[in-house]
Amino acid sequence: MLIDTAVVYTDSAIAKQAETLAFQLKLPLAQPGQLHELLLRCTPDGLELLKPDDPHLSGPVRVDFTAGAAAFRRKQQGKELLLRAVGCKIGRPLAVAVIDATGGLGRDSFLLAAAGCTVQIFERQPILAALLADGLERARQCRETAQIAERIQLFVGDAVSALHKMQERGQHAAVIYLDPMFPERRKSALVKKEAQMLQLLASAEAADEAQLLAAALAVGKRVVVKRPVKATCIAGPAPSHAVIGKTVRFDVYLHTTSNLKKANAE
């Protein structure tokens, strides 16, 4: 089911930018008096998503890698379980190439890039991809984050299809990262706000978890799956091991060359 979403702008100086975005996303421009479930708002400070007239939501969702939680996580790299799970070696630039097949708002990808990984992000939901592209562009313009953002490539499209094409060409990936869940697992007000809006968008776009894992296992030498700490594993082969935290865990699937050849032959 498509969510009723329109593009709106806050400054006449960016009206053309808003019109171009609406055309690219095949969304209407919001008109006075019209009601929409979600608004994608163009502002001089970037793109943001909001759910108007909802008293339970305190503000818009935006992607900002230059401040707030993203900046804090960059400074706490050594404590991040995700880096251990992907096999990232702190202080070795470009040491690990990662495909993030479930981009979302890109926070985990940006953390990986900050640790020296090169990251290819796939996001199939066009509005989420637009938010992510906007955040990456602003990160490239910030001196503190520019080099990190340059390690990230964003692809708008279905990761499963892309992984199948890799399999057909006999290509392998060093690390594939999957986070098929949304942030309702955490209890902060910010995450609740994001979860409500992102789940509205993702409901019609989400890939089947088992299908996504199978596609990743067919080409990935290491596949890392983020799960709530008490959740069952995704249907399929058992993980090789897990890196476990207080609220989340990372299931790690390791493949030898022979296993990859067997998966590609199936």
Q: What is the CATH number of the domain that holds 257?
A: 3.40.50.150
Tell me, yes or no, whether 87 and 12 share the same domain. no
For residues 27-53, average pLDDT: 90
How many residues does this entry show for the chain?
Answer: 266
Using DSSP's 3-state secondary structure scheme, residue 227 falls into strand
* pLDDT at 237 > cutoff 50: yes
Tell me, yes or no, whether 34 and 113 share the same domain. no
On whether residue 229 sits in a domain, the answer given is yes
108 belongs to an annotated ligand binding site: yes
CA distance 222 to 29: 43
pLDDT at 91: 57
Tell me, yes or no, whether 31 and 88 share the same domain. no
Q: Which of 94-98, 111-115, 182-186 has the lowest mean pLDDT?
A: 182-186
Tell me, yes or no, whether 230 and 143 share the same domain. yes
Tell me, yes or no, whether 106 and 175 share the same domain. yes
Q: Are strands 248-254 and 220-228 parallel, antiparallel or unpaired?
A: antiparallel
Tell me, yes or no, whether 95 and 37 share the same domain. no
* pLDDT at 80 > cutoff 90: no
- The amino acid occupying position 21 is L
205 belongs to an annotated ligand binding site: no
Percentage of the chain exceeding pLDDT 90:
61
On whether residue 237 sits in a domain, the answer given is yes
Tell me, yes or no, whether 74 and 184 share the same domain. yes
Tell me, yes or no, whether 98 and 32 share the same domain. no
Taking each continuous run of H as one helix and of E as one strand, the counts in the chain are: 10, 10
On whether residue 94 sits in a domain, the answer given is yes
On whether residue 62 sits in a domain, the answer given is no
On whether residue 52 sits in a domain, the answer given is no
For residues 222-247, average pLDDT: 93
pLDDT at 249: 94
On whether residue 128 sits in a domain, the answer given is yes
Tell me, yes or no, whether 85 and 25 share the same domain. no
By CB neighbour count within 10 A (0-12 exposed, 13-18 middle, 19+ buried), where does 124 fall?
Answer: buried
Q: Which of 148-162, 196-210, 252-266 has the highest mean pLDDT?
A: 148-162
pLDDT at 33: 77
179 belongs to an annotated ligand binding site: yes
Per-position b or e across 126-149, b if 16+ CB within 10 A of its CB:
bbbbbbbbbbbebbeeeeebeebb
For residues 109-115, average pLDDT: 91
Residues contacting residue 93 through CB under 8 Å, at least 6 positions apart: 116
Instruction: Note down the domain range covering 210.
Output: 68-265
- The amino acid occupying position 210 is A
pLDDT band, very low/low/confident/very high, at 71 (cuts 50, 70, 90): low
Using DSSP's 3-state secondary structure scheme, residue 258 falls into helix
pLDDT at 207: 65
Tell me, yes or no, whether 36 and 78 share the same domain. no
Residue 39 has, within 13 A of its CA and on its CB side, a CA count of 21
Domains in the chain, number: 2
Tell me, yes or no, whether 25 and 156 share the same domain. no
Q: Which of 25-29, 187-191, 225-229 has the lowest mean pLDDT?
A: 187-191
pLDDT band, very low/low/confident/very high, at 216 (cuts 50, 70, 90): very high
On whether residue 56 sits in a domain, the answer given is no
Query: pTM of the full predicted structure?
Result: 0.86
On whether residue 169 sits in a domain, the answer given is yes
Tell me, yes or no, whether 119 and 227 share the same domain. yes
* pLDDT at 184 > cutoff 70: no
CA 132 centroid distance within chain: 8
The DSSP letter of residue 97 is E
Say which residue, 127 or 69, is predicted with more confidence. Answer: 127
